[in-house]
Every structure is written in structure tokens, then in C-alpha cells.
């Protein structure tokens, strides 16, 4: 594919404008990246900071060009609620058990009415009568393709729960990711719902009944505390490291890595985030997450013309702005990163 400057005029213009800035004010470079003394990356960091402000909240960013190792970070060590992007580490633990032959993706899991939980997905619409069973493969695809929360909670349970997922992250040398709760408890805590069972196994009817008992004041207070809750959080740096290890085949066997990346490539959610204003047809294996003031997208994008691959983690928390505005901020940052690593990165640096 030929590189076409016209495809990226908006971001290229912004980066060109950044070239007029002096390097004397280095506060953004100091906070955003330990990366480099490369003037181009420092200017990209400034552009990322400018665009991050459009989210209306706090943005965390990690962008790593996998072939060269060049990277840009914004708030790399700050913890952000993962929301549904925590389904990536859950999938890694599940597939680790498959790699060890402890579980099989073809194993059938019987579902009950207590397995149908609130939030995104279609499993609740498909579930009609007791006795329905789905394979672990199908459940994992529902979890990642359409972000089905009920499927997620079943996969998390079958993977050993949050402690097992977090332990797997530590075994990989990743300290900044923790998984603690099924989605039913995560959403319940965000809404201020009390008296939920510890295992999160609650029917939709019971969840709705308990949710209706929460006062507006209690709901508002619970939402405020969500951004500072350490549970089910990740730093941008940690999530980027996990995605890099998946891509390199270091977190899972090669076959499981390829399967996970293929499912994420076919994800149907968040088309206006990382992929929002990239050139049509750009391949991105990604997973989104949204709750309250949090809007996330994490993944790996493939650059054209053999220019390599870029891990991109974009977290937003504490934003009062509508979700579409946060999504536009992520899309703008994604395009700036894409353009830099495609057009401005040294042509011969680390190419494979």
C-alpha cells in the first residue's frame, strides 16, 4: 500500500504546527514519557497532551511501536478503571489454562438463570429456558466480540476468579493490572447496590430490585468513589506490556495468542474510538470499556506498507462529557500516533 499524506492531513497539520513550538517548556515531556530525547517524539507527546484535554477527564496513554521499541506515554503509572477492557487479562488466564491442557475451548458450560447478569451483551436475550449450554470458546467470543457481561462472568468463574487472573499478571511480571470482581459486582458497586452475593451470582430480577432501593444520593456517592477504587484497574504502561506480550507470543502459546488477537480484530464495539478516524480498512485488534465517566480502548493496530504494529492503550476517567466526545478524543489521539509512526518515524529504525 502506498503511503498517502492526504489520508492524514488533519493530524499531519497538527504535528507540523507543533514544530513551531519551542523545546524550552519540557513539562509535558517530563510527565508523559521516559522515552527519549528524540525531538519528534517530544512533539508527539505535546500533541497527545493537547488532544487528551478534549476528553474532559484524565487520560492515560501508552503507544509502543513494536518493531522499533519507540514509545510515548501519558500518565503511564496512574491506575484507571479498566471497565470491560479487563476482559483481555481474563481471556489470557482462561487461555493459559487451555495451553496447560487443564481446560478445553470445546468444553460445554451449562448456564442457569443466575448466570444472566446486567450490562452489555445479548446472552440475556438468548437465554430462554434452563439447560442451555455454551462452549468456553463461544463464551469467550461473546465476551470479547460484543462485550457480553454474562459470558464474561462465566469465563471469569471458569478461569478461577479475579485472584487467579491477577496472579497470572504477576507471573508475567506485570504489576499494574488487577482483576477483582465479576461484572455484576463491578456494576453494582458503581451504582451503589448493596447486599449482592459475594460471588456476584445474582439474577437480573434480584439485581433490579436491589438497584431500585438505592437513593439518588447513594448512587451519586458511589459513582464518585469509582474512579479512586483500586479494584479492577490498570495503568496504561501495564496494559501495553500485556498486549505486547500477547503479540510476541510471550503471554500465551502462539496458537492461543493468534486466536485472541483474531477475536479482538473482529470486535464490534467502539468503532469510534481507536479506529474512529484511521484510514478505512486499518486492522486493529482491540477491546473497549465504558462505565460512568470512564471510556477506554486498548489494542494493537497494524500500519500499512510494512511499517509495523503499534500497541495503543487509551484510558479516560472522571469525564463529565458525553461518551461521543470522549470517543472523539481517543480517535484524535489514535490518529496522531498512527501518523507519527507511519510518516515521521525513522524509516530504517528496527524494521523487521
How far, in Å, CA of 241 to CA of 175, rounded? Answer: 10
Taking residue 89's Cβ as centre, other Cβ atoms within 10 Å add up to 28
- In this prediction, residue 32 carries a pLDDT of 41
Fold of 5-81+234-344: Beta-lactamase (3.40.710)
Quote the pLDDT of residue 112: 80
DSSP 174-217: --SB-----HHHHHHHHHT-----TT----HHHHHHHHHTS-HH
Q: Which residues of the chain fall short of a pLDDT of 50?
A: 1-35, 347-352
Least Cα distance to 311 among 290, 332, 331, 338 occurs for: 338
Return the C-alpha torsion angle 14, 17, 23, 28, nearest 10.
Answer: -30
Look at residue 28 in the predicted model and tell me its pLDDT.
37
pTM, 2 dp? 0.87
* Residues of each domain in the chain carrying CATH 3.40.710.10: 5-81+234-344, 83-226
Cα distance between residue 128 and residue 113, in whole Å: 9
pLDDT of residue 203: 81
pLDDT digits 0-9 by tens, 130-189: 568 899 999 999 999 999 999 999 999 999 999 999 999 999 999 999 999 999 999 999
Alpha-carbon distance 63 to 315, whole Å? 12
* Predicted pLDDT of residue 249: 97
pLDDT of residue 205: 84
Q: Tell me what pLDDT residue 127 has.
A: 56
The cell numbers describing 263, all together, are 477475536
Q: How many helices (H) and strands (E) does the chain have?
A: 14, 9
CATH number corresponding to 83-226: 3.40.710.10
Per-residue pLDDT reduced to its tens digit, 260-303: 999 999 999 999 999 999 999 999 999 999 999 999 999 999 99
Burial of 20 (0-12, 13-18, 19+ CB in 10 A): exposed
Amino acid at each position: 500500500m502506498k503511503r498517502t499524506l492526504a489520508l492524514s492531513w488533519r493530524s499531519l497539520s497538527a504535528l507540523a504546527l507543533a514544530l513551531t513550538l519551542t523545546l524550552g517548556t519540557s513539562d509535558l515531556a517530563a510527565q508523559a514519557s521516559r522515552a527519549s530525547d528524540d525531538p519528534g517524539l517530544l512533539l508527539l507527546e505535546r500533541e497527545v497532551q493537547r488532544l487528551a484535554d478534549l476528553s474532559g477527564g484524565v487520560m492515560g496513554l501508552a503507544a509502543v511501536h513494536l518493531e522499533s521499541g519507540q514509545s510515548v506515554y501519558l500518565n503511564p503509572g496512574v491506575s484507571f478503571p479498566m471497565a470491560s477492557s479487563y476482559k483481555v487479562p481474563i481471556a489470557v488466564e482462561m487461555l493459559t489454562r487451555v495451553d496447560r491442557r487443564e481446560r478445553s475451548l470445546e468444553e460445554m458450560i451449562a448456564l442457569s438463570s443466575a448466570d444472566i447478569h446486567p450490562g452489555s451483551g445479548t446472552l440475556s436475550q438468548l437465554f430462554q429456558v434452563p439447560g442451555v449450554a455454551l462452549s468456553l470458546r463461544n463464551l469467550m467470543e461473546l465476551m470479547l466480540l460484543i462485550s457480553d457481561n454474562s459470558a464474561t462472568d462465566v469465563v471469569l468463574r471458569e478461569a478461577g476468579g479475579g485472584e487467579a487472573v491477577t496472579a497470572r499478571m504477576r507471573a508475567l511480571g506485570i504489576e499494574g493490572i488487577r482483576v477483582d470482581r465479576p461484572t455484576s459486582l463491578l456494576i453494582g458497586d458503581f451504582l451503589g447496590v448493596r447486599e449482592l452475593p459475594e460471588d456476584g451470582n445474582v439474577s437480573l430480577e434480584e439485581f433490579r430490585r436491589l438497584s431500585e432501593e438505592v437513593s439518588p444520593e447513594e448512587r451519586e456517592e458511589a459513582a464518585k468513589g469509582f474512579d479512586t477504587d483500586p479494584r479492577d484497574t490498570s495503568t496504561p504502561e501495564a496494559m501495553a506490556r500485556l498486549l505486547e506480550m500477547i503479540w510476541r507470543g510471550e503471554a500465551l502459546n502462539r496458537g492461543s495468542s493468534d486466536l485472541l488477537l483474531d477475536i479482538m480484530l473482529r470486535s464490534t464495539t467502539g468503532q469510534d474510538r481507536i479506529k474512529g478516524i484511521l484510514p478505512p480498512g486499518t486492522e486493529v485488534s482491540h477491546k473497549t470499556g465504558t462505565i460512568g465517566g470512564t471510556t477506554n480502548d486498548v489494542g494493537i493496530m497494524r500500519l500499512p506498507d510494512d511499517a509495523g504494529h503499534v500497541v495503543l492503550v487509551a484510558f479516560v476517567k472522571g469525564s463529565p462529557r458525553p461518551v461521543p466526545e470522549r470517543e472523539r478524543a481517543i480517535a484524535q489521539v489514535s490518529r496522531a500516533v498512527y501518523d507519527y509512526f507511519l510518516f515521521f518515524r525513522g524509516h530504517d529504525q528496527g524494521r523487521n
